[in-house]
Amino acid sequence: MKNWMKAIENRRSYYSINDKSPISDKEIKELIDFAVLHVPSAFNSQTARVVLLLNDHHKKLWNIVKEALRSHVPAEAFHETEAKIDNTFGAGHGTVLFFEDESVVEGLQKAFPSYSQNFPVWSQHTSAMHQFAIWTLLEANGFGASLQHYNPLIDAEVAKAWNINSKWKLVAQMPFGTPVNEPGPKEFQPLENRSIVFE
């Protein structure tokens, strides 16, 4: 229990990472598979879909991000954007892509119409839990990671590059690698304003 609590405490956003890995790629895949198998979902819908990009696939993703940003960033400022991507997210060992399978969500909406408006929200809850679980498992195994949201800007190119099912909706990207620098101190709002107990 204490190890799990420590892993949650240590889970931070790491932007300074390199491409080294404290564990094998096989072990990384096992961590992700464990989370996908055991993290809960509403109605046991299991809507989460996760794609692990390593090596050249990881680099390809961040090149896609750069090219997508090129048309949205002024030309004179793009070199800063490019350097940021190359020296942070792109410098890592890999990236986890989080998707939600909209075909499952739509099926549940049809099967349970009285809950129809809730299923897309619950789908996002499911994705968030997978993100947190995988992020914490990566942290516990010596990685630093962060959560990025370049969707929907990159959705079409990502789907094309890895032949992603058209019903899988991209939710987030999690680049990870061995930390180079520690994040700064984290500020916390008072617990008495956030956690209440009635006894």
Domain at 17-181, CATH from 3.40.50.1000, 3.40.109.10, 3.30.230.10, 3.30.70.360: 3.40.109.10
Question: Which residues does residue 98 pair with via DSSP β-bridges, in sequence order?
Answer: 50, 172
Q: How many CB atoms lie within 10 A of CB 57?
A: 14
Helix axes 2-10 and 119-140, enclosed angle (nearest 10) = 100
pTM score, whole prediction: 0.95
- pLDDT higher at 182 or 141: 141
pLDDT in tens, 140-154: 999 999 999 999 999
- Using CA atoms, how far apart are residues 86 and 63, in angstroms rounded to an integer? 9
